[in-house]
Structure formats: C-alpha cells, structure tokens
C-alpha cells in the first residue's frame, strides 16, 4: 500500500505531462512577442515566458524529455553496472578489486565537471550527447550494489545448487543473481533518475542544455532573467524542477522502506 | 607501532593521496583534450563558425597546433599544464588562458570554502540540537526543517530564495549588484551551504543516536556534566569521522552548485569563466578552466581527508 502511495506522485506527473504533450497542442518553442512575460490567464494556464513562450507546453515537454533522459540513463547504468558488479561478486579476486577501484574512481569524481568537460567541446549538444555524458558515471552505483549483493548470494544454497547442476557463470549471473538484485536496484534507479533530472536542469540553466532550449532548467533561466517583470516564470521553473526530482526521490525512498 | 613506522605510514598516505589527486586532474584534462580532438567536428570550424574561409581555419589550426600528430599535441598539452601555460585566450589575445583562469580561481575557492565551513558548522549544530534535550520539543522542528532542506534541490531553491529576500523583502542586494559586497557574498555562501548542511545534519543525527547510550557518555553524565558539555566535549568528537566523510562525498556536488550560483548571482569565478569561454568557443580558456576546477576539487578533498585523518586514527590507513 505504502509502496504504491510513494510511486503515485511521479506516475501522476509523468501521465499529466505526457497527456499535455499529446493532446494540448501548445508549442514549447514558438514565440508570440505580443504576449511576452504574460501572467497566467485564459489560454495560458501557467502564463508565458520570454518572447511569449507557452509555459505550460514548455513545462510539459521539458518534463517528458527530462524523464525520458533519466529513465534511459538509469536503464543504461543498470544494464552495464549490475552484470559487471554481479560478475565481480561471483568471481572475486583481481577482477573484483579492479571493478571496486573503478567504482571508487568514478564515484569520487566531480561528475558535474566531467559533464562540463565533455559538453563544452560540443557545438550544441543533442539528446544523445546528454545520454552519453550522464551514463559515464551512472553505472558505478549499480555495480557497487550488485557486487555487494552477489558476494552474499555467491554462498547461498540455491546458487551452489545451480552451479552443481552445471550452470555457467553467464547463466548464474542472468538467471540467479540479477533477479534477486531488482529490489535494491530499483531504489538506486530512483535516486539516479532524480540526480539526472537535476543535472539536466542545471545544464539547461547554464545554457549548456539541448539545442532547441526545451528543458526545465531553461525555464528557470528565463525566470531569473525576468525576475523583476514576471516572477511567475521563476515560480513555475523552480516548482517543476523541484516536483519532478522530488517525486522521483520519493518513489525511490518508498521502495526502500518496504521489505 | 614505532614513531618512525607511523611517520612512514603517514608519508605513504600523503603520497598516495597526492597521486590520486594528480590522477583525477590528469583524467579530466585528458578527457577535454580527447573530446575536443576526437569527437566529430573540426575545432577550428567550431571557433570560427561556418562562414570562415579554409585559409582562416588552416591558420587557426596552425596557431592552436591542431595540425600536428595527436601524440605531439598531447605532449605539448600536458607540458603546457605543468607550466601553467596553454597559450593565449582566443577572445582576449593579450591574456594567457591560465592567467585568466587563475584570476577566477580565488573567488570560487573562497566561495566554496566559506560554504563548506558554514555548512559543516550549521549542519553539526542542527544535528546536535535535533538529538539533544536542549530544545525540548523544538528538536522535532529542527529535524523536520533539515529533512525538507535535504529534499529541496538547490537549483530550484536558490532563485526563489533570491526573489523572496532580494526582490520582495529587499533585505539583500540584487544578484549582479556591483555594490553587493559582504552581504551578497554571505548570502550566496549560505545558499550554497544549505544542501551540504542538511546532509551533515542527517549524518550527525544518525551518528549521535547510534552513540546514544555509550558507556563513556553515561560516565560523563554521572560525573555531573551538563547536557551541553556531554554533547560538545564527549559525543561530538567521537562522531566527527562520519561527519567529515559526508562532507568529503558532497564536495563534487558543492563545486557544481558553486558554478550554478555564480551564474545566478553573476559573481566572478571559474564557472563564469568557463561559461563565457563556452559561449565564445575560447578553447584554451576552456581547457585551463576545467583543469583549474579539477585542481580546486582535489585540493578541497585533500584538505578534508587530512582533517579526517587528524581526528580519526582509523582514517589514516586509507
């Protein structure tokens, strides 16, 4: 019960943004100069931003794209990190310590600098660039978690039994260890996704975001520019960044509390 | 353990940490180098735009040494970092890329250090207050505020707080105000310190509660020490290890936050230099900026590892 309650906010946000993008029909980039910085009113539920951009459309598109990016990066992190960590946990030895060292290195790295270092050299980043940049560090927490879990599972009777029946390492990892990892990994996926949403918004805010400028961070940046004229833009930007990342974090924590 | 053995171990620890630090900066520097040269797209076209002639691009490639073999470029690049000379800025040809960057180093370094100090002190205080009986029922309020702050992203909170305090309440100078002075700098540091402080408070609270009924605290109480004395003199030193660990793991996020807040408050600093260099495609300044921020990160991390080792003998072996 509690689990589904924790997942409700992010499900509601994703559905709302998805439906808005599919059916409301406003453009997140089209400018109407005559209604620049217009406050919320009929036809403009969240008001307009710089150059008259429809903020409701910008928030909906920005949310959908941030969530797609976050899910992609978390999924990639899981697909790369979890088998690597599980293998390290089963094998042990030099391979395991190499994986652990690599995790240490990546996790102690200033990730935001890493992102800047790669993105600053690209003329205008595409969505694919953003996926790559965030995935560079995303695998490490998954690998660390799978490593710890697989070390414990390695001695479990059912793994021994599978081994005695002649299962090879790939089969052990895929059929016996990974399914047991899904619980703890779901928790990690939630907080990874929240971090990606915030990272993408920070890049958008700094002007290093995607080239079409559709990002929750870009709305926030408009809000800062127009702080004196149109505070509603700032509120809309800050709330949408906070709600999306907060809802993901909440989902992650509600998964953690349940056994 | 003999004294010389301890000294040897300490020297080894420092050497290992220095190597790791140099490794981190080297990895960042190599990453910028490779992504500039190996990713599709001509850096010269990136700088000059699509309208430049082939001769102009060739001239720029020559002046940036982009026409040399990759290994020679890499050697020249590393040697340039070692001498703090990556050539002149493309936007301000009279200034070296590194001298531009180093001018911005101290504003960011002092900003980050002020935020770390404020966050650590305020976080320990909040964590201590939320477990002690000093505040009575107020400790729940402190804990609640801590949890709320830990869950609020700085990126959303900072602009809204600025709007509320600087624009509406007029209690603080506006962002970018040249006369902002100490109040503006302090406000920015406090904002940057909030997420760190919240994490430190959570760690302090968890560690203090775990320590809870430790015998040495009971002894101190039995000897007639006040609650405040038990907390400050006996309990806090024993939990300083986990607290410093939390500060250490938050440093990367703190540096990212500093870059975002520099943009928000239009403060001079490494973030501003890098964003401007990005907008102007000033490649030497970009490279210098990444290397300098990496060095700043490594130095702050080393500072906290040293502090950690000074208070907690178990951390000396790392």
Question: Could you tell me how many CB contacts below 8 A there are between chain A and chain B?
Answer: 120
Instruction: Let me know if residue B83 belongs to a domain.
Output: no
Contact B290 A112 (CB under 8 A): no
Identify the pLDDT of residue B34: 85
Closest residue to A117, CB basis, from B32, B151, B277: B32
Map residue B149 onto helix, strand or coil. helix
- In chain A, what are the helix, strand and coil shares in percent, each to the nearest 5? 75, 0, 20
Instruction: Let me know if residue B26 belongs to a domain.
Output: no
Instruction: Band the pLDDT of A242: cuts 50, 70, 90.
Output: very high
> Could you report the per-residue pLDDT of A41-55, keeping only the tens digit for each?
888 889 898 888 899
Nearest-neighbour CA in chain B from A121: distance (Å): 5
Q: Which residues of B touch A122 (CB under 8 A)?
A: 35, 39, 41
Nearest-neighbour CA in chain A from B231: distance (Å): 30
| Dihedral sign, Cα of residue B46, residue B49, residue B54, residue B56 | negative
Report d(CA A37, CA A21) in Å as an integer: 22
Q: Which residues of B touch A111 (CB under 8 A)?
A: 252, 256
Cβ–Cβ under 8 Å, residues A138 and A106: no
| Dihedral sign, Cα of residue A53, residue A57, residue A61, residue A62 | positive
Instruction: Band the pLDDT of A257: cuts 50, 70, 90.
Output: low
Q: Which residue of B has its CA nearest to A111?
A: B252
Closest residue to A207, CB basis, from B151, B153, B275: B275
Report d(CA B208, CA B67) in Å as an integer: 61
Instruction: Let me know if residue B30 belongs to a domain.
Output: no
Instruction: Let me know if residue B213 belongs to a domain.
Output: yes
Closest residue to A202, CB basis, from B160, B167, B256: B256
Identify the pLDDT of residue B242: 81
Answer whether B274 touches A (CB < 8 Å).
yes
User: Got the DSSP string for B2-60?
Assistant: -HHHHHHHHHHHHHHHHHHHHHHHHHHHHHHHHHHHHSSS-HHHHHH-TTS-HHHHHHH
Chain mean pLDDT for chain A: 87
Say if residue A259's pLDDT is above 50: no
Identify the pLDDT of residue B318: 45
Which structural domain, as residue segments, surrounds residue B287? 97-317
Report d(CA B273, CA B282) in Å as an integer: 10
Closest residue to B167, CB basis, from A112, A113, A228: A228
Contact B32 A217 (CB under 8 A): no
Instruction: Let me know if residue B174 belongs to a domain.
Output: yes
Q: Which residues of A touch B290 (CB under 8 A)?
A: 113, 116-117, 120
Six-digit token string for B41: 């797209």
Exposure of B101 in the CB half-sphere (CA atoms within 13 A)? 28
Q: What is the pLDDT along chain B (318 residues), one digit of tens a residue?
A: 455 666 777 777 778 778 888 888 888 888 888 877 877 667 777 778 777 888 888 888 888 888 888 899 999 999 999 998 888 888 888 888 999 999 999 999 999 999 999 999 999 999 988 887 777 778 888 989 998 898 889 999 999 999 999 888 888 887 767 676 788 888 999 999 999 999 999 999 998 888 877 888 888 888 988 888 888 888 887 888 888 888 888 888 898 899 999 998 888 899 999 888 888 878 889 889 989 998 998 888 888 878 877 776 666 654
For residue B186, what is the domain's CATH number? 1.10.3720.10
Closest residue to B167, CB basis, from A205, A217, A227: A227
Q: Which of B45, B70, B23 is nearest to B283 (CA)?
A: B45
CB-based contacts of A67-72 (< 8 A; 24+ apart in sequence): A67/A14, A67/A17, A67/A193, A67/A197, A67/A244, A69/A127, A69/A130, A69/A131, A69/A134, A69/A196, A69/A197, A69/A200, A70/A192, A70/A193, A70/A194, A70/A196, A70/A197, A70/A200, A70/A248, A71/A193, A72/A131
CATH 1.10.540.10 fits A2-30+45-256, yes or no: no
Identify the pLDDT of residue A253: 84
Percent above pLDDT 90 for chain B: 25
> Could you report the per-residue pLDDT of A81-129, keeping only the tens digit for each?
999 998 898 888 899 988 988 887 787 777 888 888 778 767 677 888 8
Preferred mutation among A104, A116, A194, A202 to probe B, highest tally of B CBs within 10 A:
A116
Contact A110 B156 (CB under 8 A): no
Q: Which residue of A has its CA nearest to B36?
A: A121
Give the CA angle between residues B245, B187, B254 to the nearest 5°: 30
Closest residue to B28, CB basis, from A113, A220, A249: A113
Map residue A48 onto helix, strand or coil. strand
Percent above pLDDT 90 for chain A: 37
Close Cβ partners of B294 (under 8 Å, ≥ 6 residues apart): A110, A113, B24, B25, B28, B29
Q: Which residues of A touch B36 (CB under 8 A)?
A: 121
pTM: predicted TM-score of the whole model, two decimal places: 0.87
Instruction: Let me know if residue B67 belongs to a domain.
Output: no
ipTM for the predicted complex comes to 0.85
Contact B24 A120 (CB under 8 A): no
Identify the pLDDT of residue A212: 84
pLDDT: is B90 or A256 the higher one?
B90
Preferred mutation among B16, B33, B156 to probe A, highest tally of A CBs within 10 A:
B156
Contact B155 A227 (CB under 8 A): no
Q: Which residues of A touch B271 (CB under 8 A)?
A: 206
Six-digit token string for B316: 């000396």
Q: Which residues pair with A48 in a beta bridge?
A: A54
Q: Give me the mean pLDDT over the A143-152 stretch.
A: 87
Number of structural domains chain B divides into: 1
Instruction: Break chain A into its structural domains and give their ranges.
Output: 2-30+45-256
Closest residue to A205, CB basis, from B157, B260, B278: B260
């Amino acid at each position: 019960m509690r689990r589904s309650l924790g997942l409700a906010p992010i499900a509601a946000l994703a559905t709302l943004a998805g439906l808005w993008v599919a059916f409301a029909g406003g453009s997140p980039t089209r400018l109407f100069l005559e209604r620049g910085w217009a406050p919320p009113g009929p036809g403009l539920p969240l008001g307009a931003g710089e150059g008259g951009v429809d903020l409701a459309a910008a928030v909906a598109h920005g949310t959908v794209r941030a969530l797609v990016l976050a899910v992609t990066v978390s999924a990639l992190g899981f697909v790369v990190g979890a088998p690597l960590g599980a293998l390290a946990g089963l094998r042990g030895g030099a391979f395991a310590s190499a994986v652990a060292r690599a995790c240490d290195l990546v996790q102690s790295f200033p990730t935001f600098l890493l992102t800047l270092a790669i993105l600053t050299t690209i003329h205008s980043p595409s969505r694919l660039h953003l996926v790559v940049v965030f995935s560079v560090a995303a695998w490490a927490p998954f690998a660390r978690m799978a490593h710890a879990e697989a070390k414990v599972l390695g001695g479990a009777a059912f793994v021994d039994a599978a081994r005695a029946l002649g299962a090879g390492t790939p089969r052990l990892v895929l059929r016996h260890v990974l399914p047991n990892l899904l619980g703890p990994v779901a928790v990690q996926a939630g907080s990874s996704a929240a971090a990606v949403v915030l990272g993408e918004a920070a890049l958008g805010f700094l002007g290093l975001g995607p080239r079409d400028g559709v990002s929750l961070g870009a709305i926030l940046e408009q809000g800062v520019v127009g702080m004196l004229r149109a505070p509603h833009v700032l509120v809309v930007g800050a709330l949408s960044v906070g709600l999306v990342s907060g809802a993901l974090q909440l989902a992650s924590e509600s998964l953690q509390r349940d056994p | 353990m003999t004294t010389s053995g301890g000294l040897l171990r300490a020297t080894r620890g420092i050497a290992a940490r220095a190597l790791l630090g140099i490794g981190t900066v080297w990895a960042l520097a190599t990453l910028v180098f490779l992504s500039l040269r190996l990713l599709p797209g001509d850096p010269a076209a990136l700088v000059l735009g699509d309208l430049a002639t082939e001769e102009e691009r060739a001239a720029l490639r020559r002046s940036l040494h982009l026409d040399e073999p990759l290994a020679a470029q890499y050697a020249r690049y590393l040697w340039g970092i070692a001498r703090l000379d990556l050539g002149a800025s493309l936007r301000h040809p009279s200034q070296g890329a590194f001298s531009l960057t180093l001018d911005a180093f101290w504003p960011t370094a002092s900003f980050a250090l002020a935020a770390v100090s404020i966050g650590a002190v305020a976080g320990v205080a909040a964590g201590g207050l939320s477990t002690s009986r000093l505040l009575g029922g107020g400790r729940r309020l402190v804990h609640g505020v801590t949890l709320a702050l830990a869950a609020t992203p700085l990126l959303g909170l900072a602009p809204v707080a600025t709007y509320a305090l600087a624009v509406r309440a007029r209690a603080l100078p506006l962002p970018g105000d040249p006369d902002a002075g100490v109040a503006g700098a302090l406000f920015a540091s406090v904002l940057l310190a909030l997420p760190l402080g919240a994490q430190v408070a959570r760690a302090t609270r968890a560690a203090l509660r775990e320590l809870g009924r430790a015998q040495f605290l009971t002894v101190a109480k039995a000897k007639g020490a006040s609650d405040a004395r038990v907390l400050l003199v006996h309990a806090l030193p024993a939990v300083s290890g986990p607290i410093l660990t939390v500060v250490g793991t938050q440093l990367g996020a703190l540096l990212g936050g500093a870059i975002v807040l520099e943009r928000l408050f239009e403060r001079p600093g490494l973030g501003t230099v890098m964003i401007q260099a990005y907008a102007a495609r000033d490649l030497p300044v970009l490279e210098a900026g990444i290397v300098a921020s990496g060095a700043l990160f490594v130095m702050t991390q080393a500072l906290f590892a040293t502090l950690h080792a000074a208070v907690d003998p178990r951390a000396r072996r790392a």
